[in-house]
Amino acid sequence: MPDIQDKQLVSRNLRTIAALAAVFLLPLIASFWMYYGTDWRPSSTTNHGELLQPIRQLPAADLREANGDFAPANLFREKWAIAYIGDGQCDETCRQALYFMRQTRLSLNNEMTRVSRVFLATANCCDMQFLEREHAGLIAIDASGPEAEELLNTFPQADRAHSLFIVDPLGNLVMRYDIRDEPKGLLTDLKKLLKLSHIG
């Protein structure tokens, strides 16, 4: 009699263990099957901007700042950078882009020293009175000459006037943001990149 009861108890325990295992393992098996066994893939990503692929490394160039000084040799190296490309007269779209750049960097608080702001002026460089008054610390580059052509061609051409770009400390073009969407995601993504990065 005790043997029968022991066998029933063992059998009941095994069924309980099997049920618990099924509760934990079936969702895992189902998710693996959905991801690897079907054409379904999750469409959402954790970043807000457009991830630029394949990776594009910005070439070195002998550039000058808007005031005539040579641009820093490490312009797109050693720090993260937010870059804007546009006409140096800086119309309303340009001013909006530079505003977003400035406010995003300021919102990084203690981390803002790890990020530079670069304005590549493709012509009419530059309204220095406006830039010095409103955007102290901005690196304004005269990119109107042939020496800047290779650098400018590395950036995507489409919607360039409405775009902000993130460049990593190795000089790689990482992400693009459309300023028409008021890119609050720019700050979120940049904070995440700075937190995960061991460089710059």
Higher-confidence residue of 197 and 34: namely: 197
- Judgement on whether residues 33 and 110 belong to the same structural domain of the protein: no
Residue in the structure block whose two tokens are 């190795």? 170
Both structure tokens of 44? 């959402």
**Under 8 Å between Cβ of 56 and 173:** yes
- Judgement on whether residues 153 and 54 belong to the same structural domain of the protein: yes
- Judgement on whether residues 23 and 91 belong to the same structural domain of the protein: no
- Judgement on whether residues 37 and 128 belong to the same structural domain of the protein: no
Number of domains in the chain: 2
The tens digit of pLDDT for each residue in 4-14 reads 666 666 667 66
Cis peptide upstream of residue 126 (ω within 30 degrees of 0): yes
User: Cα separation of 188 and 183, whole Å?
Assistant: 9
- Judgement on whether residues 38 and 75 belong to the same structural domain of the protein: no
- Judgement on whether residues 76 and 7 belong to the same structural domain of the protein: no
**Under 8 Å between Cβ of 162 and 183:** no
pLDDT band at 1 (very low <50, low <70, confident <90, very high): low
- Judgement on whether residues 80 and 131 belong to the same structural domain of the protein: yes
Is the sign of the CA dihedral 102, 107, 108, 113 positive or negative? positive
Assign residue 70 the CATH number of its domain. Answer: 3.40.30.10
Q: Which domain holds residue 22?
A: 1-44
pLDDT at 149 > cutoff 90? yes
pLDDT for position 35: 47
- Judgement on whether residues 166 and 84 belong to the same structural domain of the protein: yes
pTM value?
0.75
- Judgement on whether residues 144 and 168 belong to the same structural domain of the protein: yes
Both structure tokens of 190? 């940049």
Is the sign of the CA dihedral 39, 40, 46, 52 positive or negative? positive
Residue in the structure block whose two tokens are 């073009």? 173
User: Cα separation of 12 and 199, whole Å?
Assistant: 57
- Judgement on whether residues 93 and 171 belong to the same structural domain of the protein: yes
- Write out the DSSP string of the chain: -HHHHHHHHHHHHHHHHHHHHHHHHHHHHHHHHHHHHSS------S-SSEEEEEEEEPPP---EETTSSBPPTTTTSSSEEEEEEE-TT--HHHHHHHHHHHHHHHTTGGGGGGEEEEEEE-SS---HHHHHHH-TT-EEEE--SGGGHHHHHHS--TTGGGEEEEE-TTSEEEEEEEGGG--HHHHHHHHHHHHH-S--
pLDDT at 28 > cutoff 60? no
- Judgement on whether residues 137 and 192 belong to the same structural domain of the protein: yes
- Judgement on whether residues 34 and 63 belong to the same structural domain of the protein: no
pLDDT for position 49: 84
- Of 29-33, 64-68, 150-154, give the lowest mean pLDDT range: 29-33
The tens digit of pLDDT for each residue in 104-140 reads 999 999 999 999 999 999 999 998 999 999 999 999 9
Mean pLDDT across 84-94: 94
